Structure 1
Amino acid sequence: MVEIPPSAAPVVAAPYRTEPLPDLAAWTRYFVDAEIPVLAATAQALEQLRAIEDDVDAAMLAKAIQTDPLMSIKLLAFVAGKRKPSILNDEGADAKTDTVTSALVMLGIAPFFRHFGPQPTLEDRLRDQPQALDAMRELLRRAERARMFALGFAVHRADLDVDVILQAAFLHDFAEMLLWCHAPTLALAIHDAQSADPTLRSATIQRSLLNIELDDLAQALMQRWRLSTLLVRLSDTRHAEQAAVRNVVLAVRVARHTMQGWDNAALPDDVDAIAELLNAPPRIALAYLHKIDRGG
């Protein structure tokens, strides 16, 4: 579980956005230019490593970063953007930005610390927005659960792209996280609408209040940042007919539906879909889900 410790001294941050932008292009431009805050624990860990930079390797840095979806997406976007246009279609070079560890190996330790100075924190950003901070805590816990279930499914399927599948599941809700960071009033309106009528589809509410769907925003940002082709594809719910994408989608779905326990009305459908993915009877699939949840 991600614990969010008390933040350090507050920093000056950009004002919150309170009105929706007109379309996907406008929202994409907005978030491309927006600062991405990170967890206070991540910021602190990076400063501790900076003090011993000569002794730091990629594995040490990855350990500090890969439990934080915001810092993870920030790093992946930066490293992907450093690739030369001539190698954008080079699958080997593309794979070097699939995961946090591979991105750090490609970038190097000294260049990392040169570019990423002391980081702005989520806790400072949302200091006056306690509901938004609580919502972020929930999203962070959900991201960890999604990664946990994605690992279980991918290992069972003996998938060769397991590391990227985990990354895609962990980062799945990063657009919603950015919305809470920069437009908490709009994010809260979506949350309240869903709470008032759980039968409403999230996409319908998002289109009504934001003029976009957050899944579309996530895809647009990942493509604008030139993230790896495989990571972008695995994150695209429109291709759920592909087993690896379905692995990510179902991990995210069961993580969401089990946040408050195992009595969610949508779970039987999840279990049936997971049973099909794993080529197992539903009762075996359900038992496997509980085993994963227990850390087994």
Structure 2
Amino acid sequence: MFETHATRDLEGWLSLFSSAQMPVLRQTARRLDEARQHIDRVTGRDITDIVLQDPLLAIRVLAYIQSCGSKRLRSDITNIASAVLMLGVEPFFRKFEDPPTIEATLSRKPQALLGVLQVILRTQRASRYAHDWAFARHDMNVEEVALAALLNDLAEILLWCFAPEQAIEIRARLQSGRTLRSSSVQQEVLGFPLADLQLALCRAWQLPELLTMLMDSRSAHLPRVQNVRLAVNLARHSVDGWSDAAIPDDFAAIESLLNISRETLLARLQLPPELVPRLAAPQTAGAEGSSRRA
């Protein structure tokens, strides 16, 4: 575990996270080990499916690919399937053998472990939404969009792993003031919003410009970026249930992006039947007590 300090500046946090050995989910390590035992039957698609459930393994794979090969070749690798194809099955397992796990890293910090697992669950949900909507939009590269949603909260995940005290403080402040904006609280605790660290990490790890753009709210006018942003927002607002006051706004924006009705959207979301009647009718969002925005 790394020692962290609240006075660390953006460059300091960037250096900390860039030098850290990224852990993966224990379930990911188990699935990789099982696949390795049947390496003669494992395909690139099998590996890709494992990687795309774990944002930290996904960023490890992308960062490694960007560190090798020509600039022209690296620019073509914008999804995990292409990265695995470039590496090959056996070299992949050699490179990512016996990774540390998040559960072991945070074994003595149960509150931080719960926090990071909650964020990862949220990113997994966002990735599923983004994939489904990109497919519905006939996007040329659905996995790029899903991957961008999976990695959107990477900086927050890393904060929970390597600076749990700061992550816990941010969450406590947000819970004590339900109308506070996440970015403002992050600014108070860290000296900058996590979105700034996220983009700095993308640049430091030389992630493909396309992926960086898909995670950058400054490109929000582009349909693919809207796809990612709306998936992230809905996952954030629904992770604790479907009563958040911001959800009607989310639904309206998604319906506009996909050009579908509320009924069709609810069917795509595969919600429990008992929730559908309450969510079926368009509502007026933005009322008093609505969810804080990031």
TM-score interval (norm. to shorter): 0.7 to 0.9
Which residue of structure 1 lines up, in the alignment, with residue 269 of structure 2? 293
Query: 1-side partners of 2:125 and 2:41: how far apart?
Result: 32
Which residue of structure 2 lines up, in the alignment, with residue 61 of structure 1? 47
Unaligned runs of 5+ in 2: 273-294
Query: 1-side partners of 2:67 and 2:271: how far apart?
Result: 36
What letter is aligned with 2:26?
Answer: A
Which residue of structure 2 lines up, in the alignment, with residue 3 of structure 1? none
Q: Please tell me whether residue 81 in structure 1 is matched to residue 62 in structure 2.
A: no
Which residue of structure 1 lines up, in the alignment, with residue 75 of structure 2? 94
Which residue of structure 2 lines up, in the alignment, with residue 146 of structure 1? 126
Which residue of structure 2 lines up, in the alignment, with residue 115 of structure 1? 95
Q: RCO higher in 1 or 2 (8 Å CA, sep ≥ 6)? A: 1
Query: 2-side partners of 1:158 and 1:275: how far apart?
Result: 15
Q: CA RMSD in A?
A: 1.9
Which residue of structure 2 lines up, in the alignment, with residue 49 of structure 1? 35
Alpha-carbon distance, 1:208 to partner? 0.7
CA contact (8 A) 1:99 1:167 kept: yes
Alpha-carbon distance, 1:279 to partner? 3.2
Q: Using the TM superposition, name which of 55-64 and 140-149 deviates more.
A: 55-64
Change (3 A) 1:295 1:166: farther
Cα shift readout 1:221-262 (whole Å, capped 9, x = no counterpart): 112111112111111112111110011001100111111222
Query: 2-side partners of 1:241 and 1:153: how far apart?
Result: 17
Residues 1-296 of structure 1 correspond to what in structure 2 (within 5 A)? 14-22=1-9, 24-84=10-70, 88=71, 90=72, 93-96=74-77, 98-280=78-260, 284=261, 286-294=262-270
Query: 1-side partners of 2:263 and 2:15: how far apart?
Result: 44
What letter is aligned with 2:252?
Answer: D
Instruction: Give every structure 1 segment of 4 or more consecutive aligned residues whose post-TM-superposition deviation is greater than 4 Å.
Output: none
What letter is aligned with 1:37?
Answer: P
Change (3 A) 1:52 1:268: closer
What letter is aligned with 1:122?
Answer: I
Unaligned runs of 5+ in 1: 1-13
Q: How many pairs were matched up?
A: 272
Identical positions, percent: 37
Change (3 A) 1:287 1:130: farther
Change (3 A) 1:20 1:121: farther
Cα shift readout 1:75-113 (whole Å, capped 9, x = no counterpart): 1111111133xxx2x3x64232x2222111011223222
What letter is aligned with 2:34?
Answer: Q
Q: Using the TM superposition, name which of 199-208 and 223-232 deviates more.
A: 223-232
CA contact (8 A) 1:149 1:292 kept: no
Change (3 A) 1:194 1:288: farther
TM value normalised by structure 2: 0.86
